[in-house]
């Protein structure tokens, strides 16, 4: 099923549950409410919640463990969270400005610019990674709420229970605190509880980043890293298969003139081959004269001139067009039917690319005559012949699965380090994203209450009226909410403008 069908099915299930929940509350009032109370289940529109007191005792133990250390730990977390607040605002504002500049200009986006990224399943997150996304989101929110709970116990705030919720398709954890006790705390103590969740997300993100940096060294005795990508699976209907095509366990080192060292460079090279024209090749006049099998008539097929017969095309010959005749006085025909494999394997250099325009005399630059969306991609392997792919490079990305880790021995499974790295990557992305989002002065986020307490602490000497300080905090939250909504919705709106 496609993405829309899956999302519609999940939405329909939510609507059915909400409908029956409403009916049962009306018709079977007491028995059904008793059932909900005993199980801790609550059904809302597009939201399922479950709360339990089973973690209250462990949280109480953790909250009284080493009181001095916990006080130092959460005080450090408060400082880190407050310092993160201006950085998060600047980062979000910079992202919005860069999105607008990118939309108004024709220049390519600079990947070195630090931006926030809204990760949405089915939009910029592969649906195949949804399991990673759901589990890591649940883990990051659980770690976030554990911070609030332990800090609350440390400050003598009662915990009613912990729970899990499903917002449409996104899982999350939460903790129920006694809000009256929390609001009665002194501002500095209350701030430690409010900042504990963001602080735990910062620590988790830093730990995940450290693991990502260390993983290649940990796996070094068993895997090779940074010397290519390892083919783990190829779809049966992929055009990359064939007698001389890709095979499982191949190690890909380059695409055309683009070097491949890991999955990031693999995607980058595929994107370049998709965006840029198919490169030409520097060919000698002797090679053309000895191998040319062009036909007299040059019919146009789909807007592309063809100079090879059907029999020659079936044998792997392509029609090449003379691009640059600076190779000397020897005249060459404009179109030549040549063997693509013989031409490429003869070691000819590339031409008519972004970095190379012409050939050194006495060579001539010839480029295959193919459609705009059809590209000739040369896939270089550490062992075996060069793979020639004629088609859309996006098909390679969709049908060929690769791993960054090349096994040194047959018994080493390349999927194990890849799964660990993918989980760790999502933990880093989601935990850092939750920290930035929750520290912003936004309604229904931790930043709403953090900004309110900060206004009381910082403005108490200058603004005596508490209602004025509350109004200032309210204005900050309105501006922060509008800023966040702009940053989240802008990529979707600009896409259809």
Q: Is 395 left (phi over 0), alpha (psi -120 to 50) or beta?
A: alpha
In the chain, DSSP finds a helix count (H) and a strand count (E) of 15, 17
Round to whole Å and give the CA distance between 81 and 311: 69
What letter would DSSP give residue 219? Answer: T
Q: Is 162 left (phi over 0), alpha (psi -120 to 50) or beta?
A: beta
Integer-rounded Cα radius of gyration of the chain: 30
Neighbours of 97 (CB within 10 A): 11
Q: Where are the beta strands (DSSP E) in 247-286?
A: 251-255, 258-259, 280-283
- Collapsing DSSP to helix, strand or coil, 445 comes out as coil
pLDDT at position 261: 92
Helix axes 446-459, 67-104, angle to 10 degrees: 110
Backbone angles phi, psi at 44, to 5 degrees: -125, 175
Round to whole Å and give the CA distance between 124 and 134: 15
Neighbours of 397 (CB within 10 A): 15
Contact 136, 426 (CB under 8 A): yes
pLDDT at position 111: 41
Round to whole Å and give the CA distance between 168 and 13: 10
Contact 250, 269 (CB under 8 A): no
Q: 283 CB contacts (<8 Å, ≥6 apart)?
A: 320, 338, 343, 348, 363, 364, 365, 366
341's tokens: 């494999």
86's tokens: 């201006």
Residue 195's H or E segment, with its range, is: helix 187-218
Reading the chain (497 residues) residue by residue, the pLDDT tens digits are: 566 787 788 889 999 999 988 888 888 777 888 888 888 899 988 899 999 888 889 999 998 888 899 999 999 999 999 999 999 999 888 888 887 777 666 454 444 444 444 454 444 456 667 788 889 989 999 999 999 999 999 999 999 888 899 888 788 888 989 889 999 999 889 999 999 999 999 999 999 999 999 988 899 899 998 899 999 989 888 888 888 889 988 999 999 888 999 988 999 999 988 888 888 888 888 888 888 888 877 666 556 778 888 888 888 888 888 886 654 556 678 888 988 888 887 767 788 776 666 777 778 888 888 877 788 888 999 888 889 888 888 899 889 999 999 998 888 888 889 889 889 999 998 999 899 999 999 998 999 999 999 988 888 778 888 888 889 999 999 999 998 888 777 766 666 55
Q: 291 CB contacts (<8 Å, ≥6 apart)?
A: 338, 339, 342, 343
Distances in Å between the Cα of 426 and the Cα atoms of 38, 74, 199, 212, 436 are 35, 25, 18, 11, 15
Q: 259 CB contacts (<8 Å, ≥6 apart)?
A: 253, 265, 269
Question: 71: burial class by Cβ within 10 Å (0-12, 13-18, 19+)?
Answer: middle
- Collapsing DSSP to helix, strand or coil, 277 comes out as coil
- Collapsing DSSP to helix, strand or coil, 13 comes out as helix
Residue in this structure with the two tokens 């409410």, named with its chain if needed? 33
What letter would DSSP give residue 278? Answer: P
Round to whole Å and give the CA distance between 245 and 378: 11
Round to whole Å and give the CA distance between 434 and 273: 35
């Amino acid at each position: 099923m496609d993405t829309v069908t899956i999302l519609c099915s999940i939405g329909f299930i939510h609507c059915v549950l909400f409908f029956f929940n409403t009916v049962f509350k009306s018709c079977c009032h007491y028995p059904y409410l008793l059932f909900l109370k005993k199980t801790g289940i609550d059904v809302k529109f597009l939201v399922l919640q479950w709360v339990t007191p089973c973690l209250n005792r462990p949280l109480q133990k953790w909250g009284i463990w080493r009181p001095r250390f916990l006080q130092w730990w959460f005080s450090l977390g408060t400082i880190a969270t407050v310092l993160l607040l201006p950085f998060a605002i600047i980062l979000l504002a910079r992202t919005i400005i860069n999105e607008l500049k990118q939309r108004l200009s024709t220049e390519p986006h600079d990947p070195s610019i630090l931006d926030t990224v809204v990760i949405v399943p089915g939009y910029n997150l592969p649906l195949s990674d949804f399991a990673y996304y759901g589990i890591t989101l649940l883990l990051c929110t659980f770690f976030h709420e554990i911070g609030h709970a332990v800090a609350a116990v440390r400050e003598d705030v009662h915990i009613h229970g912990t729970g899990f919720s499903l917002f449409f398709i996104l899982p999350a954890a939460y903790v129920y605190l006694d809000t009256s006790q929390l609001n009665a705390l002194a501002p500095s103590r209350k701030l430690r509880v409010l900042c504990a969740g963001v602080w735990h997300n910062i620590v988790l993100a830093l730990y995940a980043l450290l693991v990502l940096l260390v993983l290649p060294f940990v796996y070094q005795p068993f895997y090779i890293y940074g010397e290519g990508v390892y083919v783990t699976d190829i779809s049966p209907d992929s055009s990359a298969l064939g007698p001389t095509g890709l095979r499982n366990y191949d190690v890909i080192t380059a695409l055309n003139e683009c070097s491949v060292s890991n999955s990031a460079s693999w995607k980058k090279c595929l994107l370049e081959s998709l965006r840029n024209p198919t490169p030409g090749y520097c060919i000698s006049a002797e090679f053309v004269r000895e191998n040319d099998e062009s036909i007299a008539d040059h019919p146009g097929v789909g807007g592309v001139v063809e100079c090879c017969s059907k029999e020659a095309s079936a044998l792997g010959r392509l029609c090449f067009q003379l691009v640059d005749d600076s190779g000397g006085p020897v005249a060459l025909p404009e179109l030549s039917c040549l063997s693509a494999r013989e031409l490429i394997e003869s070691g000819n250099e590339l031409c008519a690319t972004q970095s190379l325009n012409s050939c050194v005399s006495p060579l001539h630059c010839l480029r295959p005559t193919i459609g705009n969306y059809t590209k000739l991609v040369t896939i270089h392997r550490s062992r075996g012949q060069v793979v020639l792919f004629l088609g859309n490079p996006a098909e390679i990305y969709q049908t060929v699965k690769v791993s960054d880790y090349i096994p040194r021995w047959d018994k080493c499974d390349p999927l194990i380090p890849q799964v660990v790295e993918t989980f760790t990557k999502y933990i880093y992305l989601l935990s850092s994203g939750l920290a930035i989002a929750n520290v912003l002065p936004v309604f229904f986020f931790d930043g709403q209450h953090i900004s309110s307490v900060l206004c009381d602490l910082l403005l108490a000497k200058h603004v005596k009226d508490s209602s004025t300080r509350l109004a200032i905090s309210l204005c900050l939250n309105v501006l922060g909410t509008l800023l966040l909504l702009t940053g989240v919705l802008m990529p979707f709106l600009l896409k259809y403008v």
